[in-house]
Structure 1
Amino acid sequence: MGRVTIQQVAREAEVSPSTVSNYLNGRMDRMVPATRERIEKTIARLGYRPNRAARQLRTGRTKTIGLIVPSVGNPFWGAFAHELEVAAVAVGCSVLLCNSERVAEREREYVQELWDNGVRGIVLCSSLPSLDHLADLVEQGLQLVTFDRPAQPNDPESVVSISINNVVGGYVAANHLIELGHRRLSFVAGSLASVNRAGRYRGFVSALEAAGLDVNDMPAWSGREDVPFGDVFAADVGRRAAHSLFSGDAEPPTGVVAINDMTALGFCRGLRDLGLTVGKDVSVVGFDDIVLADLYDPPLTTVRQPLARMAKLAIAEAVSHDSGDPGEPGRSVLLQPQLIVRASTAPPPARDQVPALTVPAVNPK
């Protein structure tokens, strides 16, 4: 049996092909319920599937959203891709996934290819400071939604930003350790050259300053210099950082804030290599609340991002702005993170405890 056509559906439903087309494209405001029901049942009975290639020839675009993440080597991005796909399917769209490793040239190649194939809405997750490498396509009508990257001064006006407040996230992570009594803290990451990572570190520093602690007196954060961001090797970055901070002559930290959960879990593994106990000898806080965070032993204290809500917002913006109008203004949505306290954090060992500080309530900017 050959492919069912829109003409066959129209004939069986006793309506015109244009009426079926209106149904398929959501133009049903003037369609009586009985007609809608008849078309719907006919489509189900015949197994009709719209010809996307034909639609693209007519409109120059597809009902597909592009998703560009740093790397699904970090489970956080796999989880976000899943939530985004769930949100996309709910509105009749599909998702194409690309891994950019936060390399601007690679992002440009992916975005150009998606554009050439009719994709007009893209969710970009690299959080690089500049979007100059995509500016010409945005001017042509590409709807760009940036995830986990607050709007920047030089962004094109039509760009939409969906992000948590990473500064607040870094602040609450460090402040949690300070409230437990920790006075020697370290921030562990790969590169801080992305907007979201820089924000988390800025929040970390703000918490130390609010408590009267000098960040310059703290053990330096550490990572792999040969891997700029460490998205693929995040756990290895954390593990190496633990060996670096606890194998030298300098006094090590009693509390650590990691750039993300995979780095935090790698750091925990490094502590175990050295015979140290997480949550007893050293407290560790992650960021993202991936599924592994609660499964680790001990379960990881972390900063949660509301992934499902952020994915729905990103899809809604990518679809609603998919008009090809480069002049339509974008907007910025900034959500609040949530500290999830588990067993990887506790007061410092008795030998390191000092009288509690009075930590002022500060709203980091």
Structure 2
Amino acid sequence: MAGVTIYQVAQEAGVSPSTVSNLLNGRTGRMLPETRSRVEAAIRRLGYRPNRAAQQLRTGRIQMLGLVVPSVANPFWGTFARHLEAAALAEGFYMLLCNSERDPDRERRYVEELWGDGIGGVVLCSSLPSLDHVKPTVEAGLGLVAFDRTAQPGDPHSVVNIGTDNVLGMRLATEHLLELGHTRLAFVSGSIGSVNRAERYSGFRLALDAAGLPPSAGIVWSGADTVDFDDRDTAELGRVAAREILAAPNPPTAIVAINDMCALGVATGAREAGLVVGRDVSVTGYDDIMLAGMAMPALTTVRQPVQEMAATAFAKLRQVMDGDGSESGHSILHRPTLVVRDSTAAPVVVTVS
């Protein structure tokens, strides 16, 4: 039952509100066993969950925030979590980390549990188009920052969105390949169902259109029947995509991957097909995770300023939690940069003698 109060619990159990409060706060030393049983039964019947935010304010306990990421199987999210935690600790906050696998129901349950346990603010990183699944909790008072996402119609008015300019970032990667002379490119992603992935695809398409290339110049491999934009299997998705695309007639000379893990999988698939990445086929990623610079060959990618973005996310979450809605409903975008390494080069020119 939504919005159940201790007064309703007290009425249901036939006790005073102070008796309910004593049980919730562990003060049961002088409480008769039958009274305690009656109150606990009333709590179960009504589905009451104490919101410990008020208790935290009264007791002065150290504040906490929640972070819900798709999966730390992608090192980008582990890096972001580390920087957000560092920003939080510097201000006396602790952080709880949850992996949602971009499952709306799982996100909803995490957010409700965090709010019910007295955590007043959450950074949500799924980039799903709709926030309807967490809207009731936000409207109940939870402070929410949506990360790696731009504001969408229907968002709760208090939400602040933070990320990079994904359209620009993917345009930078695609334009780099076009400038090298590639005219047949492939875009590899999981299902393009999240805000960030749709924006990156838009950047890819815009770059091809600006170069005057026909639609057939851009192959799109979404893997919708293989992986539903899940971060756990992105590298394998890239490997499978590369093997399939490169085995087709008139294959692309360059592959733009949705992120670095996907790009590393693409590079593996290209090697399995007998090709040399950076010579026979060029590959780009997005994120600039630590592994990107250590790969062989080192990966050309789009760098997100993760530490700066994490600091912004924490600062804006504090403002939302404090009731400052000056930037609510807006998108705060950091500028991505292109990092050119050895995985990209001019296409091989085949001469016929």
Same fold (TM over 0.5): yes
Tell me the amino acid that sits aligned with residue 252 of structure 1: P
Pair 59,102 (structure 1): closer, same or farther in 2 beyond 3 Å: farther
Q: Distance in 2 between matches of 1:115 and 1:60?
A: 17
Tell me the secondary structure at the aligned position of residue 252 of structure 2: coil
Q: Distance in 2 between matches of 1:224 and 1:158?
A: 33
Partner residue in 1 for 2:178: 178
Question: Which of 146-155 and 294-303 deviates more?
Answer: 146-155
- Find out whether 1:251 has 2:211 as its counterpart: no
- Give, in angstroms, the shift of residue 61 of structure 1: 8.3
Counterpart contact for 1:141–1:326, Cα < 8 Å? no
Tell me the amino acid that sits aligned with residue 106 of structure 1: R
Q: Distance in 1 between matches of 2:155 and 2:148?
A: 15
- Find out whether 1:349 has 2:337 as its counterpart: no
Partner residue in 2 for 1:303: 302
Q: Distance in 1 between matches of 2:157 and 2:327?
A: 6
- TM-score scaled by structure 2? 0.81
Tell me the secondary structure at the aligned position of residue 232 of structure 2: coil
- Find out whether 1:92 has 2:92 as its counterpart: yes
Partner residue in 1 for 2:102: 102
Partner residue in 2 for 1:25: none
Partner residue in 1 for 2:293: 294
- Give, in angstroms, the shift of residue 289 of structure 1: 0.1
Counterpart contact for 1:62–1:119, Cα < 8 Å? no
Alignment of 1:18-29 (within 5 A): none
Partner residue in 2 for 1:163: 163
Tell me the amino acid that sits aligned with residue 158 of structure 2: S
Partner residue in 1 for 2:127: 127
- Give, in angstroms, the shift of residue 153 of structure 1: 2.2
Counterpart contact for 1:138–1:326, Cα < 8 Å? no
Counterpart contact for 2:127–2:149, Cα < 8 Å? yes
Q: How many residues align?
A: 299
- TM-score scaled by structure 1? 0.78
Q: Distance in 1 between matches of 2:141 and 2:60?
A: 12
Pair 202,339 (structure 1): closer, same or farther in 2 beyond 3 Å: same
Q: Distance in 1 between matches of 2:194 and 2:222?
A: 16
Partner residue in 1 for 2:268: 269
Mind listing any 5+ residue stretches in structure 2 that lack a counterpart?
A: 1-51
Superposed CA offset, 1:42-86 (max 9, x none): xxxxxxxxxx99962727986111000000011111111111111
- Give, in angstroms, the shift of residue 218 of structure 1: 3.0
Counterpart contact for 1:191–1:229, Cα < 8 Å? yes
Superposed CA offset, 1:189-216 (max 9, x none): 1111000000000000000000011233
- Give, in angstroms, the shift of residue 158 of structure 1: 0.6
Tell me the secondary structure at the aligned position of residue 187 of structure 1: strand
Q: Distance in 1 between matches of 2:197 and 2:265?
A: 18
- Give, in angstroms, the shift of residue 274 of structure 1: 1.1
Tell me the amino acid that sits aligned with residue 220 of structure 1: V
- Give, in angstroms, the shift of residue 154 of structure 1: 1.6
Pair 328,334 (structure 1): closer, same or farther in 2 beyond 3 Å: closer
Tell me the amino acid that sits aligned with residue 349 of structure 2: A
Partner residue in 2 for 1:36: none
Tell me the amino acid that sits aligned with residue 253 of structure 1: P
Q: Distance in 2 between matches of 1:101 and 1:269?
A: 24
Partner residue in 1 for 2:316: 317
Partner residue in 1 for 2:216: 216
- Give, in angstroms, the shift of residue 220 of structure 1: 3.1
Q: Distance in 1 between matches of 2:107 and 2:60?
A: 22
Counterpart contact for 1:158–1:326, Cα < 8 Å? no
Q: Distance in 1 between matches of 2:54 and 2:121?
A: 19
Partner residue in 2 for 1:6: none
Q: Distance in 2 between matches of 1:53 and 1:213?
A: 56
Question: Which of 134-143 and 254-263 deviates more?
Answer: 134-143
Tell me the amino acid that sits aligned with residue 168 of structure 2: V
Question: Which of 252-261 and 154-163 deviates more?
Answer: 154-163
- Give, in angstroms, the shift of residue 326 of structure 1: 9.5
- Give, in angstroms, the shift of residue 320 of structure 1: 2.4
Tell me the secondary structure at the aligned position of residue 67 of structure 1: strand
Q: Distance in 2 between matches of 1:61 and 1:329?
A: 28
Runs of 4+, deviation exceeding 4 Å: 52-55, 59-62, 325-329
Q: Distance in 1 between matches of 2:262 and 2:155?
A: 30
Identity value in percent: 56
Q: Distance in 1 between matches of 2:165 and 2:206?
A: 14
Pair 61,339 (structure 1): closer, same or farther in 2 beyond 3 Å: same
Question: Which of 53-62 and 211-220 deviates more?
Answer: 53-62
